[in-house]
Amino acid sequence: MMNKYRIIFSPTGGTEKVSKSITKNWGHVEDIDLTIVDKDYHDISLTENDIALIAMPSYAGLAPQIALDRLARINAHHCKCVIVAVYGNRSYEDTLVQMEDYAHMAGFDVIGAIAAIAEHSIFHQFAAGRPDENDCHQLEEFGNQILEKVIHKINTKPNIPGHRPYKKAGGGTIPQANSLCTKCGLCVVKCPTGAISKENPQVTDKDKCISCMRCVAVCPSHARSLDQEKMAVIENAIKKVCSIKKGCELFL
């Protein structure tokens, strides 16, 4: 019996949407959420008869380290997998090779890879509304091809783009709370890195924050935001490359 899994790190929903499009025709798929702070991922055990989709966002060309570390704790036992990097129309750079290496650490057999576009988590005007209907149809077809490869036991290795050693990680920008904050604690509960203080949600640990934007997305009071001057500089720097429409890619 082949069990199917979606192993996902999706702070703002774009990666989840991509993943569900890819697995649309896979039948029953069990979700494993990599954003849970206190989950013991060592307890997850898969088999060589299973297939998993592993999906993460690309932040400045790299996968979130905390998501990679949690993935590496899973006991895959040669479960076949496809790795998926989701990016906001700039570039995924070394994200896929990072994911490939950490999937191997967990014991997965990587049979395919996908780079997919989703609306930028900070600058929503870039790749706005994506994955769109055309993307979703294409991703669904990618998923069909991956399932066919598994069913027919095709053992070719995908040629996955990226560089080793990986590019150097840059510093992120940390969302700050303003006077609208009611200290409801929702951001504390939802933060995938445990970066926001339980005692005072207006305090964020800059060493733990990965700028994933989940706290901004879930805040019912719209009380969290980034420094607008810094954002204007970054937006101007990436505007040209992010404005060129990119497509989804499959590596089998």
Is 176-225 CATH 3.30.70.20? Answer: yes
Tens-place pLDDT, residues 179-215: 999 999 999 999 999 999 999 999 999 999 999 999 9
Residue percentage of the chain with pLDDT more than 70: 100
Are 26 and 50 a contacting pair, CB within 8 Å? no
**87 three-state secondary structure:** strand
Please classify residue 14 by burial: count the beta carbons closer than 10 Å to its beta carbon, then call 0-12 exposed, 13-18 middle and 19+ buried.
Answer: buried
Tens-place pLDDT, residues 52-109: 999 999 999 999 999 999 999 999 999 999 999 999 999 999 999 999 999 999 999 9
Please state the domain extents for the chain.
4-164+247-251, 176-225
Which segments of 88-200 are extended strands (E)?
109-117, 176-177
Write out the CATH class of domain 4-164+247-251.
alpha beta
User: Considering only 39-43, 65-69, 230-234, which range has the smallest mean pLDDT?
Assistant: 230-234
- By residue count, the chain amounts to 252
Task: For tokens 């805040």, name the residue.
Answer: 219
Fold identical between 4-164+247-251 and 176-225? no
Q: How far apart are CA 104 and CA 102, in angstroms?
A: 5
In the predicted model, is pLDDT for residue 230 greater than 90?
A: no
Are 189 and 135 a contacting pair, CB within 8 Å? no
DSSP state of 115: E
Query: How many C-beta neighbours within 10 Å does residue 218 have?
Result: 15
Maximum distance among all alpha carbons in the chain?
Answer: 58
